[in-house]
Structure 1
Amino acid sequence: MRVRFITTILALICCFGVLACARQARNAGEPSTTVLGQIIYVAPFTQPVSTSELITGFIPEQQGRIPRDMLLSLDEKLREVLTADTKRGCAWFARTHGIPDMTRFHTSEQPQALPLWVAYGKKQGAKLLLIPQVLNWNERDGSNAGVARAAHVRVEFFLLNVPEGALAGRSVFEEEQVGLTENLLTVGSFIQRRGVWVTADVLAAEGMRKAVRELGL
């Protein structure tokens, strides 16, 4: 009887330990297996230009604006990256599906966009929505061999759990390419880029691949 009692106590302790670990994982913001198994719905790229249009974060000072045709190009590049780098199912929303109108809160100094993206996801029937955004865009002024101004981009990716109306993850990529003489710490990136000055869309693609890794896409 005493052995059975001790065994029961030990089993209860183990159960409480497992529950505590699971609670800690949820508190850390790790996506659940249910979320991970869902199809990823992908919104078109957008560029917030005022604080109220943000999901979270800030608008860079002297923000560089991206041309519309380049937004379309980034949509296609993200499709290529996701197709190549993830085995999960993806569905892409066209711009004709009606991107949320963020201008209604243009006078606010606080991010206001999350509820609008939640409503957008629900309207489109999405459970898990990837929202890609360009926060800063400065194209290279020069060529592969040399530049007067290097490319500089900041792209952010938000993974939205639509039914819960909450973010399941966020990935931020910002880089301005510099020469080896300016920063020896960039030697790895310099070699990876084959020793050339790259364009802004090449940097943005690096941000896409980083997001795939960080968000577990």
Structure 2
Amino acid sequence: MRNKSLACLVVVLAAVISLSTGCVRRTASMAKAPAPGDAATSAVAFLNKTFVVAPFVIPATDADLPTGYLPSIRSVPEAAPVQLDAALDADLAGSGQHFVPSKMAYTCARSAQRGNETGRLATMRYWQNIGKCAGADFVLVPLVIDWSEREGSAIGATKPASVNLSLTLIDVRTGGIVKTFHFNETQQTLAANILEAKKFVSRNGRWLSAMELAQEGLKQGVKELGL
């Protein structure tokens, strides 16, 4: 009976997705065009370049962010950065880009200086110095901003998981931001957001843990950054 119900639900979802896709196609000509250079970033600017991935950190103040501001209320378990480092390493393992070994990245993160600037400028200089220490062209800066674990089980959660993280790619030569990916999601039910039907189906109707949700975000971020 459960399999039959799930099959019916998938059929309904497919119909909804089909209808929404049709709407997108009819209005595609009105969509905003991609910014010049976005598509060429990974194909040209990253050609024969070297990358270093800084360790995940939990920002303490707004100055620890490349852009934006921290939520007024947030909480991240101390173990999360280590778990996220392992997940990001796994996602980048099959990349066609050249990455500096993780051991060197950690060594450079411990020894890099913040410089004489204050606030965000000092933080940006620190990340730039990590790249210089590693002899890289680009440094990938991962931050975990907020983390709320699921309450309940995969088949029945009383509170959904929520994750807020970012991946920022910095040009070591200039110290400027090349691209930023921001993932801030709280899992929702199908009834709460019908537009997330594809995610609902791909997750088999399960309530994800915070780590599973974060892993989805990392995979999406790696893809969008062209890594």
TM-score tier (shorter) = 0.7 to 0.9
Q: What's 1:56 paired with?
A: 67
Evaluate the alpha carbon distance shift between residue 44 and residue 123 of structure 1 in structure 2; reply closer, same or farther with a 3 A threshold: same
Aligned residue pair count: 188
For the Cα contact (< 8 Å) 1:171–1:214, is it kept in 2? yes
Amino acid at match of 2:51: I
1:191 to 191, 201, 211: 201
Residues 174-213 of structure 1 mapped to structure 2, 5 A cutoff: 174-213=184-223
Distance in 2, Cα, partners of 1:185 & 1:56: 28
Q: How far apart are residue 97 of structure 1 and its match?
A: 3.7
Q: What's 2:55 paired with?
A: 44
The higher radius of gyration belongs to 1
Distance in 1, Cα, partners of 2:221 & 2:80: 19
1:98 to 103, 109, 116: 109
Q: What's 2:96 paired with?
A: 87
2:85 to 75, 100, 124: 75
Please give the per-residue CA displacement for 1:44-63, whole angstroms capped at 9, x wherever unaligned.
Answer: 11111211111112101211
The normalised TM-score by structure 1 is 0.76
Q: What's 1:126 paired with?
A: 136
For the Cα contact (< 8 Å) 1:105–1:112, is it kept in 2? yes
The normalised TM-score by structure 2 is 0.73
Evaluate the alpha carbon distance shift between residue 88 and residue 112 of structure 1 in structure 2; reply closer, same or farther with a 3 A threshold: same
Evaluate the alpha carbon distance shift between residue 152 and residue 105 of structure 1 in structure 2; reply closer, same or farther with a 3 A threshold: farther
- Counterpart check, 1:171 vs 2:181: yes
Distance in 1, Cα, partners of 2:128 & 2:182: 20
Q: Structure 1: state its 5+ residue gaps.
A: 1-23
Q: Structure 2: state its 5+ residue gaps.
A: 1-34
For the Cα contact (< 8 Å) 2:144–2:166, is it kept in 1? yes
Distance in 1, Cα, partners of 2:93 & 2:121: 31
Evaluate the alpha carbon distance shift between residue 136 and residue 54 of structure 1 in structure 2; reply closer, same or farther with a 3 A threshold: same
Please give the per-residue CA displacement for 1:26-45, whole angstroms capped at 9, x wherever unaligned.
Answer: 6x695372434312211111
Amino acid at match of 2:70: I
Q: How far apart are residue 64 of structure 1 and its match?
A: 2.0
- Counterpart check, 1:158 vs 2:168: yes
Distance in 2, Cα, partners of 1:195 & 1:144: 9
Distance in 1, Cα, partners of 2:62 & 2:117: 9
For the Cα contact (< 8 Å) 1:129–1:161, is it kept in 2? yes
1:141 to 151, 168, 173: 151
Q: How far apart are residue 66 of structure 1 and its match?
A: 2.9
